[in-house]
Amino acid sequence: MNNPSEFPVPLERTLDGTLGVEFAEPEGDVVRGRIPVTDRIRQPYGIVHGGALLALAESLASFGTAIGVRDDGKIAMGQEINASYMRPIADGHVNAVARVRRKGRTAWNWEVEITDDAGRVCTLARLTIAVRDASQRPSPAS
């Protein structure tokens, strides 16, 4: 999955690249990642934008699913997400741990815990990631 030739768009030109997502090596059914807090991911009040938090959650869950289904000729893409914001993050890093809860034939379900650098839970998200045949991959616009 880390081979750039596997992707139609180079990772540095994707939202993950724009946000500065740092992926850790997956450990079984757990995927970890983080984003450094900079002005580009803050909203006007100086705290991390909720969209950046959800983008990180979806990226980790999609990445974990993609790794799990690629040998079967499948791809993964976000289908549904919901989250509860409990505490803002204003500096340091946005840290996330994604844990798979169910591996279905057509969808995987994940829970993602997002914390600040002090380890305080800031956001909890639940996601469904669709599993599709690689031939169903949408083509990027030219």
Q: Which residues have a catalytic role annotated? A: 58
Written as six digits, the tokens of 53 are 């938090």
Pair 33, 50: CB distance under 8 Å: no
Phi-psi region of 46 (alpha: psi -120 to 50; beta: other; left: phi over 0): left
DSSP symbol at 137: P
Q: Which residues on neighbouring strands pair with residue 131, listed in sequence order?
A: 76
CA distance linking residue 30 with residue 79, whole number of Å: 19
Tell me the CA distances in angstroms from 37 to 3, 41, 117, one per residue in order.
27, 7, 11
Pair 127, 112: CB distance under 8 Å: yes
